[in-house]
Amino acid sequence: MLQNIRQNIQGPTTKIVVWLIVISFSIFGIESILVGGGGGGVAEVNGEEIGAGELQQAVNNQKRRLISMMGDNFDPTMLDDDLLGAQALESLIDRKLLMQSAAELDLTASKREVGALIANMEQFQIEGKFSPQLFTSVLSNAGFTPAYFKETLAEDVALTQLRAGLMGSEFSTPLELSLNARLDAEQRDLAYLTIPIESFMTDEPPTEEEIAEYYAANQERFLSPETVELDYIALTPEDFLAPVDEDELRQAYQLEVDNTQYQTEYRVSHILFERGSDESEEALQQRVAAAQAELASGTDFATVAGEFSDDIGSASSGGDLGFTSGDAFPPEMEEVIAQLQPDTVSEPVTTDAGTHLIMVTERREGAAPTFEELRPQLEEQLQLTAARAELLLAVEELKDLVFNAEDLTGPAQDMQLEVQRSEPVSRNQQGGLFANPALLAAAFSEEVLQAGHNSDVIELGGDQFVVLSVRKHNLPEVLPLAEVREGIAALLLEDSARGKVLAAAQGVVQALRSGASIAQVAEENGYTWQAEPGAQRDNTNLPPEVLGNAFQMPAPDGDDPLVDLVMTPAGDAQVVSLTRVEPGSWEHLAAPEQQALRRQLSTEFANLLNTEYQRGLRASADIVVR
């Protein structure tokens, strides 16, 4: 049926339906079709709505975080909107409850505090100073507006205050400190000996009968991996590179000279006066005049900006706005900037943002490189730009062709492309092109592997697109005995050695429990041993297996030691003899140790309190999820 849909989707009836949908979208808007045109939220928390846009923003942010964390190896299946949407909605509900609680406690962040935080964020700084242009650019690339970012940051500050208050209200009682010190500072006297597996390894190989018997009984361990051999078409911009016209190169050169840092640049500072909603024009002019008077008296411009400017972002950095080459600021400002001499203050300049006092702090003359110096760079840029455009057109054509094609041969011929063939690719492929999770998922999908269809055209990183189909499916098969014989022989030798190690360790345990000393047993058998008096849980001298085993054993009852054994992943046996357990004491801890234990308990209790506090908010809240 799916193939019929693929074949008939190009029919006239289907095209009419598609065009009706397109017309509906254009007339009524996509939002009205998808969400009924309403502005209803996705949830309501104590009467406050969580909007669909807010949820989508949270989902997008979560996607960006996942992609950033996983890099090129991210799994596309983790970006499922339904899964991320449910998680994001729960987080938004928790955040809304905490914000409501913070509001009840009058916890908030001032605009100046938020501005100071933003100004000190390294991601918004150039050469250690806040850059408004970088601030706007970074937020835009991340999908934020400055207003939304500031609002979110203000909420984060309030939530930090709330959590700090919760943490500050928690404390540890003397009894709690004593009980935890009793365990954390506990000391144990122990000794252990090691029985290495190497001493039981032999060069005598197992017999052919033993190998054959093991092979017959464990054939599921000797299966070849399931693999697919793929036909694929890969498209990159490099496939569409073409020579660049000389006139186009010269036009690009002139544009580069006119619009880059080669132009004269001005570093600008300003003091911004925004008229408040209840402020008169006269009051605004009085503030401007006061700032001018301070400047006239010789007060440094940066100092006056910090005191008077309503631009929170730049006020904390002396009013600095960074460089402009004539197009960074409103035309009214740029006109004045171009005429100002460095270190002189302008008359008040009015823009949509408010009233400005402007000072040029640095003028940087630029000299453009010659055409021949820029030619290689410009030629590469123009080639790639044109190639990317051709690539996208080719991708769209390829999508249409492979959708209805039985395999990739026809689309490749129509577009004069090459069908490439892969080596066998396994489900856990580690190297090469097909280690990409998106390609692996497509290759082993039911539609491609079982139904035999071409995959979608898959976009990879770096302007690379791939479409694939399965040429051959290789199911797991039992490998011939000849191929696995050496591996089976090694397994049998190791299994035999592990059994002998365990038997020897059990003999040592019995000897120690019968009254022999660990030193005596070690000397008689040629084992190494070590004593560790007063060992604590953070001991770094003991092997992890020995330390973990020693602190799981109960305290000895009387003078007889407790004896136990533990096997290491490598196959060695370690026999542990525990002779004494001394509980820790708060009074015997050094001051730094007491302080560290207080911090540890404070963090644990604060996390528990924060969890219970959120649980309590939820229990008493009126939450409606739509």
Q: What CATH number corresponds to the domain at position 355?
A: 3.10.50.40
- Residue 103 located in a structural domain: no
pLDDT of the residue at 611: 85
- Residue 85 located in a structural domain: no
pLDDT of the residue at 298: 93
pLDDT of the residue at 261: 59
Let me know whether 468 and 408 are in one domain: yes
Low-confidence ranges of the chain (pLDDT < 50): 1-39
Alpha-carbon distance 570 to 572, whole Å? Answer: 6
- Residue 129 located in a structural domain: no
pLDDT in tens, 493-509: 999 999 999 999 999 99
- Residue 101 located in a structural domain: no
pLDDT of the residue at 262: 67
pLDDT of the residue at 26: 39
List 567's β-bridge partners, or say none: 573
Query: Does the global pTM surpass 0.85?
Result: no
* 360 touches 342 (CB < 8 A): yes
- Four-residue CA torsion sign, 545, 547, 548, 550: positive
* Residue in the structure block whose two tokens are 């390894």: 201
Q: Which two tokens stand for residue 577?
A: 């003899």
pLDDT of the residue at 78: 66
Quick one: DSSP state of residue 543? -
pLDDT of the residue at 608: 85
- Residue 519 located in a structural domain: yes
Quick one: DSSP state of residue 197? G
- Residue 249 located in a structural domain: no
Let me know whether 444 and 353 are in one domain: no
Let me know whether 308 and 333 are in one domain: yes
Q: Which of 396, 464, 412 is nearest to 436 (CA)?
A: 464
- Helical residues (DSSP H) of 263-341, grouped into ranges: 281-296, 301-308, 312-315, 331-339
- Point out the domain boundary residue: 441, 474, 507: 474
Q: What CATH number corresponds to the domain at position 451?
A: 3.10.50
Let me know whether 412 and 435 are in one domain: yes
Let me know whether 334 and 406 are in one domain: no
Tally of domains in the chain: 5
pLDDT of the residue at 25: 39
Let me know whether 565 and 598 are in one domain: no
pLDDT of the residue at 55: 85
CA within 13 Å, CB half, 277: 0
- Residue 84 located in a structural domain: no
- Residue 274 located in a structural domain: yes
* Residue in the structure block whose two tokens are 């003028």: 363
CA within 13 Å, CB half, 444: 18
Let me know whether 510 and 467 are in one domain: no
Q: Containing H/E element for 7?
A: helix 2-8
Residues of the domain holding 613: 174-182+589-625
* 573 touches 563 (CB < 8 A): no
Q: What percent of the chain has pLDDT over 70?
A: 91
